[in-house]
Amino acid sequence: MHPRSVAFWGASNNPMRMGSVQLGELLAMGFEGPVYPIHPSEKVVMGLPAYSTVADTPGPVDLAILVLPTGVVPEILEECGQAGITRAIVVSAGFGEIGTEGKELQDRITRISRKYGISFIGPNCIGVINPRHKLNTTFYPYDASPGFIGMASQSGSFVTQMFVHLEKFGLGFSQGFSVGNEAVIDITDCIDYLGQCPETQVIGLYIEGIKRGGEFLRIAKEVSKTKPIVAYYIGGSDAGSRAGLSHTGALAGPDALYDGIFEQCGVIRAKSIEELFDFCYVLGSQPLPRGNRLAVLTNSGGPGAAAADAADRSGLDLADFSPPTIEQLKQLVPHTASISNPVDMTFARNHRDYLETLPRILLNDDQVDALFLYFLMPHKRVINSVISAMVDSSADVAKIGAKYLRGQAISAATLGHSYGKPLVGASFYTRSEPFIREVQDRGLPVLPSPERAVRALGALYRYACFRKAIEKEASL
Amino acid sequence: MHPRSVAFWGASNNPMRMGSVQLGELLAMGFEGPVYPIHPSEKVVMGLPAYSTVADTPGPVDLAILVLPTGVVPEILEECGQAGITRAIVVSAGFGEIGTEGKELQDRITRISRKYGISFIGPNCIGVINPRHKLNTTFYPYDASPGFIGMASQSGSFVTQMFVHLEKFGLGFSQGFSVGNEAVIDITDCIDYLGQCPETQVIGLYIEGIKRGGEFLRIAKEVSKTKPIVAYYIGGSDAGSRAGLSHTGALAGPDALYDGIFEQCGVIRAKSIEELFDFCYVLGSQPLPRGNRLAVLTNSGGPGAAAADAADRSGLDLADFSPPTIEQLKQLVPHTASISNPVDMTFARNHRDYLETLPRILLNDDQVDALFLYFLMPHKRVINSVISAMVDSSADVAKIGAKYLRGQAISAATLGHSYGKPLVGASFYTRSEPFIREVQDRGLPVLPSPERAVRALGALYRYACFRKAIEKEASL
């Protein structure tokens, strides 16, 4: 994941080739070490000097990337071994996932790798991403920032297409692995590695089937003690299991079996790819709640009620506020609104109370373990017309409006951590709205609906329960 | 919903007042009839001539909008009745939702409305939206296009905040109602009305509790015979039911009871606000499937497997293709890819096959009732570099790229309807990508993940089953 140099097989001056696209992305990412295209005839590939064999490269090679026709992979891997290369990514497909013949070929390259001590990812994968090291071996541009989510996936798309998905929230990968058929390095190895990676705050897994059940259990449990793991497993249904088999040759088991495995080792199960990253977002950024008592703060009844309903269905209780909290709320909440939980401020009130005073009151209550905050965004036009009425006509209303929103965002975003309690927001607006961007970039997760935000808090609570049980076990 | 003129109570020259914001939005939407602000002292409100009572307005009033303090609502409603106004929206809160005292006040305005034959929406609501009539009485700007989704909601936010949500897909409301406490007009009346609205292809409901169970059953069943209804019900959990009570005073019942009601009248239940509109998107735009056999077409294994898994969990079967289909697929799908269902083309192949030839083959198969299509978007940079290599250097590569994508989008979007079978796409890209925008604007639903797309197809199938049962019933 931190090579100083790369040798690349399968790129040419034909930009339609998969290999050319992948080499193009490696260069576009700005990889800083030397890159050596290996090509049987071309002298220059995509502007770089090319070499006919890896033995000819002018410097040592840390990582070999193979995007070659299936049949020549064994031979090239053999060459890599002879050249002393010990790390490789085999992108080529046509191995274990296509049946007996492919399986034999996969065994063959596995034997070659063992012989030379080559540790490789794949075959039938899309490679890896390590944005801080400017390493992107996939065919997709990584335009997101480096982030705190470590990913290991049996689908390449669920790494690469997530570049785009994570950007929607200002998130990014710390490091990401497309493990493919897992001939040598498997998803369990990745968990072990990401568990030790200091930039990784949470580990996300896409699983079609686990190969080494016992090892997975042991390592995932060890890592879960300090770092949350979230898994999206699709092999539990008949159709999902068959699709996985033809995709990566993974052997799946029934849902109940996997639920049992995940529960034993503290892995939190997600039910869709969106949920996987919703959970990673919250589990990787928020402190653990001490209990399951949620406060819901809203300026809009429907989203508040939807959050309450989702809480009930996600193992969370609505907190009963303590008497001092209720007294303080009475001072601030209009008489037409609700001070029971959900606290509904309704729309037409002081925004500073909503984004600062009220959250503080709720987070300060010992009866509250976590807070959900709904962002009903006042529209720019509304804010500007309010400001126009307050300031003299020469002032730059749009600028004051932007500054006002920014101040509000900062106060909202810095709240949760100062109380050591998790805080998650929701809004139907996206990052194209400056307020949402400001809040997200300051570390407060904002998800696209109340239900998704509360379900993620439910997942955080489930993980907190695992951590508590582990601590209890350890203290016995 | 189609007034020729509006009288407005509660707007002033103070832009911080809720009423001023709402009147501002009505004007911003470009409402074409006369608008008469009624104000006790001001002669001009927000640039319009104001009148001290509705009796003074120079022309007849079709619709009265009241954004007033709770206490004066009865008196003004009385004035409206005396002026012969028969349609009103009461935005003011502080009625049935706050307990006994409020309930009495609500009964009082209900009696007044009966006395004068005033049909009103509310109280404690946010009003209505009818974009084709340029009528927006809410406090939120409607920037989306007029659309095909009719909405009736016991939450105002789940109308107004959806303006933003629907825009993400290029969708919009045909007409939308925030029904509030339903003193006179309730959600069942709205279903009846939207059932007859020619611009409404599907009806979306947000429900905290149903008031007239028997009538709801009768009318919803009648409407469902020709137009799908989707409902998001949050009163089925303890917390959701309590939140609903303090929000709109709605009386909820357990999940199982409501599931039974919905099933009897063909209403499709959604489990979140996002799912409500995902379902409306697909049920309002796609032909009904004859059966539950789904074909999954992907150029990426993970999303294909996730779609297959979601199908299994949504009551859909993966279609077994007929022999001629398998023969045709063999010609087109690379040997490393899968021709069983999901059909996985993998990335590096001809895009025209993927977006045109293959969908045609699958839709043409009698064993296939519906098609899911995953859009793994080639990145602009990739497309441009491919085109650069093919055309002479003086050509405008970006322009050719855009045209290429546009052609692909058109062929993909026009497919489903020509076979009379539903077709739904998914992509992690949003409408900011021209390809996705083109496809969506041509009527092919593209949802943000494979699971959401397939669940919506599952909902469409459930609705098709209801329709089939109703037709059988009728033919006996």
B5-56 pLDDT tens trace: 999 999 999 887 889 999 999 999 999 999 999 999 999 999 999 999 999 9
| Nearest neighbour of B240 by CB, restricted to A240, A243, A308 | A308
Contacts of B94 in chain A (CB under 8 A): 335-336
Q: What is the pLDDT of residue A182?
A: 96
Average pLDDT over residues A287-315: 94
Residues A9-32 have pLDDT tens digits of: 999 998 878 899 999 999 999 999
Contacts of B308 in chain A (CB under 8 A): 234, 237, 239-240, 242-243
Q: What is the pLDDT of residue A299?
A: 85
Flag whether pLDDT at A360 surpasses 80.
Answer: yes
Neighbours of B255 (CB within 10 A): 16
Asked if domains B143-285 and B287-463 share a fold, the reply is yes
Distance, CA of A175 to CA of A153 (rounded, Å): 11
Q: Measure B124 CA to nearest chain A CA, in Å.
A: 9
What is the residue type of A213? G
Query: Do residues A261 and A279 touch, judged by C-beta distance below 8 A?
Result: no
Residues A451-463 have pLDDT tens digits of: 999 999 999 999 9
What is the residue type of A200? T
What is the residue type of A394? S
Average pLDDT over residues B315-320: 97
Residues B205-255 have pLDDT tens digits of: 999 999 898 999 999 999 999 999 999 999 877 877 777 766 666 667 888
Q: What is the pLDDT of residue B353?
A: 79
Q: What is the pLDDT of residue A359?
A: 92
| Contact check, Cβ <8 Å, A243/B430 | no
Q: Which chain A residue is nearest to residue B138, measuring alpha carbons? A: A347
Secondary structure of residue A361 in the 3-state scheme: helix
| Nearest neighbour of A449 by CB, restricted to B153, B242, B272 | B272
pLDDT band per the 50, 70, 90 thresholds, residue A219: very high
Residues A372-386 have pLDDT tens digits of: 999 876 666 666 666
- Could you tell me the two tokens for A205? 């897994």
CATH class of A143-285: alpha beta
Domain ranges of chain B: 1-125, 143-285, 287-463
Average pLDDT across chain B, whole number: 91
Q: What is the pLDDT of residue A435?
A: 86
Distance, CA of B180 to CA of B168 (rounded, Å): 26
Residues B379-403 have pLDDT tens digits of: 666 666 666 666 666 667 777 777 7
The CATH number of A1-125 is which of 3.40.228.10, 3.30.1360.70, 3.40.50.720, 3.30.530.80?
Answer: 3.40.50.720
Average pLDDT over residues A53-79: 96
Q: Does B452 touch chain A (CB under 8 A)?
A: yes
Average pLDDT over residues B141-152: 94
Q: Which chain A residue is nearest to residue B317, measuring alpha carbons? A: A239
| Nearest neighbour of A301 by CB, restricted to B248, B306, B386 | B248
Flag whether pLDDT at B338 surpasses 80.
Answer: no
| Nearest neighbour of A389 by CB, restricted to B15, B303, B448 | B15
Query: Do residues B463 and A286 touch, judged by C-beta distance below 8 A?
Result: no
Q: What is the pLDDT of residue A321?
A: 96
Contacts of A46 in chain B (CB under 8 A): none
| Nearest neighbour of B312 by CB, restricted to A168, A240, A304 | A240
Q: Which residue has the tokens 């001072």?
A: A331
Q: What is the pLDDT of residue A70?
A: 94
Residues A140-149 have pLDDT tens digits of: 999 889 999 9
User: How far, in Å, are A109, B150, B252, B326 from residue B212 at the CA level?
Assistant: 70, 20, 12, 53
Ranking A233-242, A271-280, A390-399, B260-269 by mean pLDDT, the lowest is A390-399
CA A290 to chain centre: 24
Q: What is the pLDDT of residue B381?
A: 63
The interface residues of chain A toward chain B in range 396-425, judged by CB-CB distance below 8 A, are none
Distance, CA of A9 to CA of A340 (rounded, Å): 64
Q: Which residue has the tokens 């995902």?
A: B278
pLDDT band per the 50, 70, 90 thresholds, residue B82: very high
In the structure, how many helices (H) and strands (E) does chain B have? 18, 20
ipTM metric: 0.92
Secondary structure of residue A137 in the 3-state scheme: coil
The CATH number of B287-463 is which of 3.40.50.261, 3.40.640.10, 1.25.40.10, 3.40.30.10?
Answer: 3.40.50.261
Q: What is the pLDDT of residue B349?
A: 55
| Contact check, Cβ <8 Å, B240/A305 | yes
Residues A155-200 have pLDDT tens digits of: 988 999 899 999 999 999 999 999 999 999 999 999 999 999 999 9
Backbone φ and ψ for A276, nearest 5 degrees, come out as -50, -50
Contacts of B165 in chain A (CB under 8 A): 428
Question: How many A/B residue pairs have CB atoms within 8 Å?
Answer: 242
Flag whether pLDDT at A205 surpasses 90.
Answer: yes
| Contact check, Cβ <8 Å, A240/B302 | no
| Contact check, Cβ <8 Å, B305/A93 | no
pTM, two decimals, is 0.94
Contacts of B302 in chain A (CB under 8 A): 153-158, 206, 247, 273
Q: Does B247 touch chain A (CB under 8 A)?
A: yes
Distance, CA of B136 to CA of A117 (rounded, Å): 70
| Contact check, Cβ <8 Å, B309/A240 | yes
Contacts of B158 in chain A (CB under 8 A): 302-303, 306
